[in-house]
Amino acid sequence: MPLLLYCITEACPAANTTQAGVFGRTVSTVDESGLRCFVSEIPDAINLSREAKQAAVAFNRVLQDLLQKTAVIPFRFPTVLQDNDKVAVLLREHAAESKRSLSWLENMVQMELLIGFSNGNVVGKSDSRSGADYLRSRQERYHSLATVAAELTADLAHHMKSSRQRTSPSGARIYALVPRSSVQEFRQRAAQLKIPATLTARVTGPWPATEFLEDN
């Protein structure tokens, strides 16, 4: 029966979960080369894409449970392999890089700070202003966003080991690599940050530190 893959951890006592998997299936493990992969059976008759929302909630519930105990390398949902043997081969082939990543991310999680425009408008939409005025306004909004993002990153630097930033027409997202023991302090500090009235900020996490897997 096909297997849905959740994540990879070190094969250690802390790496365990009692959470039910997608569609209520039991989550089991495959150990190989010092690594552990968490999987659950997916009956052929079940259409993951049709039940995507419900399945994703259960998938993330398993990840969150494991993340509280150990470092995890999550799979993109849905990643499916045919059987335990195929999973073992995958673990063997990626053993060296996976162990480096898990060692680098030991006791670390990813927090995210989402910065958006308070009026809800997406930068890039035109209005009745002239083209020059519109472009000037758009540039000013981006500059304000970049300035605030840089200031917030600096303010939070003491509470994180590393950071990344991505921008989009709707705002910016700051990814912070934070010690698991410092998550509450990070949240508290973020809540105290001063945000201009033109912007909004929201903290989410903890998440698996996927933005930092290549840093080890």
Distance CA 53, CA 5 (A): 17
> Which of 42, 2, 46 has its CA nearest to residue 21?
42
pTM to 2 decimal places: 0.83
Omega within 30 of 0 (cis) for the link into 74? no
Name the percent of the chain lying above pLDDT 90: 62
Tell me which of 87 and 194 has the higher pLDDT.
Answer: 87
In CATH, the architecture of 108-215 is 2-Layer Sandwich (3.30)
Q: Which of 27-41, 62-76, 113-127, 173-187 has the lowest mean pLDDT?
A: 113-127
pLDDT by residue (tens digit) across 43-83? 766 677 677 788 899 999 999 999 999 999 999 998 999 99
Q: How many CB atoms lie within 10 A of CB 125?
A: 9
- Domain residue spans of the chain: 3-104, 108-215
7-21, 76-90, 118-132, 198-212: range with lowest mean pLDDT: 118-132
**pLDDT of 194 strictly over 60:** yes
For 150, the 3-state DSSP assignment is helix
Closest among 85, 73, 87 to 39, alpha carbons compared: 87
**Better pLDDT: 151 or 110:** 110
Residue type, 170: S
